[in-house]
Amino acid sequence: MKILPAFVMSLLLAPSAVAAQQPTNAELLEAIREAQAEARLAREKAEDLQRQLTRVIEELGRRRDGGAPAPDPVDRLTKVEEQVEVNTAQIREHAQTKVESESKFRVRLSGMVLANMYHSSDDTQRTTPLVAPPPTSPEAVTRGTFGSTFRQTVLGLHVDGPRVGGARLSADLDMDFYGGTVAQQDGDVLGALRLRTAAARLDWERTALVVGQEAPVISPRNPTSLAAVWFAPLSSAGNLWQWRPQVIVEHRPRVTETTELVLQGSVMPPFGESVGGISLAGRPAYEARVALRRGPATDRVLEVGAGGHYGRRSFGFGRDVDAYIVSGDWLVPLGGRVELSGELYHGRSVSLSETSGARIDRHFAFSGPVDDPATSVRGIDSTGGWAQLSFQARRDLELNFAYGQEDPSDRDIRAGLFTSATRFRNQVASANLIYQLRPSFLVALEYRRLWTDYAAARRTNNHYNLGVAYVF
């Protein structure tokens, strides 16, 4: 989840600050009516949950006292006990006092405590490897090892704000514990708190304005995994996940009663990328996406979209390189239990699968040092994507099979300087099962195979991961 920084809240609310200090009688009456309506709805919900709980407890008592057995007594009893737990938790939630911010608006806390235990056959450096180690790595780096981490634990906050110009203001914040230096990110047990995403939203009925650090609009979905949470699964293997500061506008006109058109556009300011240790002179990048979505009136959402990205990189001395992406994405239910999702893209100088603000040397081909005016710069074309097949085997068991690859143009890479450790194609395949012991307690097993082609040779790595998570 994500939350609005204080300075953004002040900017959004500045035009109405004076009026808010001296509310009119009409505004006070309206606020009182809204509060009364919310209290009434909460009370009705609590009463309804209490009635459901009473019925469930009575039924549970009849089962235990020798009443008429269900078609499957063991499974039925398990379901009833789980429903009692859920209903009890919901009643307690409604009975709790609201958590409020200094501005008196409600704040919701959520997150996931995640423990990962893993084994890598050819990589001792990273808890969640994205590529196989390069062929120049020493033996100590490529030897297999066991390890564990709690640093993929995530925390989220959500704030519901006031209405502004007919829109509802809200804010979200999402954090984990994978901050620190590069060395700490790869192996330190004591992780530092790290900002993942943060945004402020203005939501009208069918339109939204978002300001913050978010994923690209052309890459709206991710594979499912509890082994790779620090970055989105299949990063550097076809998933353009990069969290970047941006301004997003979304409009959702209705086509039919159950179908809507999704129109999105965003502006991405520069944010500190570098090449050869030299920061790039930045210009904003632009993105747009259009999608057809069936829902939300239906139980299973179907969505198919296409998007584009354009930006220009400047290396000084009149050397500018156009960066672009064309993409497609899909989320398709196949029957009642199977779902197919994924994304494809083709582009030039595609850096949206990298860490925000990182060095992006490998997306350009240089004939010499970048600070030499005689050096030519060429953008490297790349094609990639990923696909996932999800199967809901039972109510409490989910299976996911995914494959992704990133394949830059060999011809473009060889047009510039490269070494034996220069990365060409990277492929990742994974299979996992996620078992729900209780509604908030998950256990996951995952196997991941990585193939990375370097200029010198292909390297591989097998990664096994056990994840245990408590979601709150």
Give me the count of residues in the chain: 472
- What residue type is 292 in one-letter code? L
Please state the φ and ψ torsions of residue 248, each to the nearest 5 degrees. Answer: -120, 135
Q: Is the pTM of this model over 0.85?
A: no
- Please name the residues in contact with 124: beta carbons below 8 A apart, sequence gap of 6 or more: 140, 141, 142, 143, 144, 145, 147
What whole-number distance in Å separates Cα of residue 216 and Cα of residue 311? 13
What whole-number distance in Å separates Cα of residue 253 and Cα of residue 238? 30
Count CB atoms within 10 A of the CB of residue 395. 10
What whole-number distance in Å separates Cα of residue 97 and Cα of residue 329? 42
pLDDT 10s digit of each residue in the chain, 472 long? 343 344 334 434 444 443 444 445 555 566 666 666 676 777 777 777 777 777 767 766 665 555 444 455 556 666 666 666 666 666 555 555 455 566 667 889 999 999 999 999 987 667 889 999 888 767 656 677 888 999 999 999 999 988 888 899 999 999 999 887 654 455 566 778 899 999 999 999 999 999 999 999 999 999 999 999 988 999 999 999 999 999 999 999 999 989 999 999 999 998 878 887 777 767 899 999 999 999 765 568 999 999 999 999 888 888 999 999 999 999 999 988 999 999 999 999 999 988 776 778 889 999 999 889 999 999 999 999 999 999 999 999 999 999 999 999 999 999 999 999 999 999 999 999 999 999 899 999 999 999 999 999 999 999 999 999 999 9
Cα–Cα nearest to 385, from 427, 331, 333: 427
Cα–Cα nearest to 130, from 349, 383, 468, 404: 404
Output the CA angle 26-31-32, nearest 5 degrees.
100
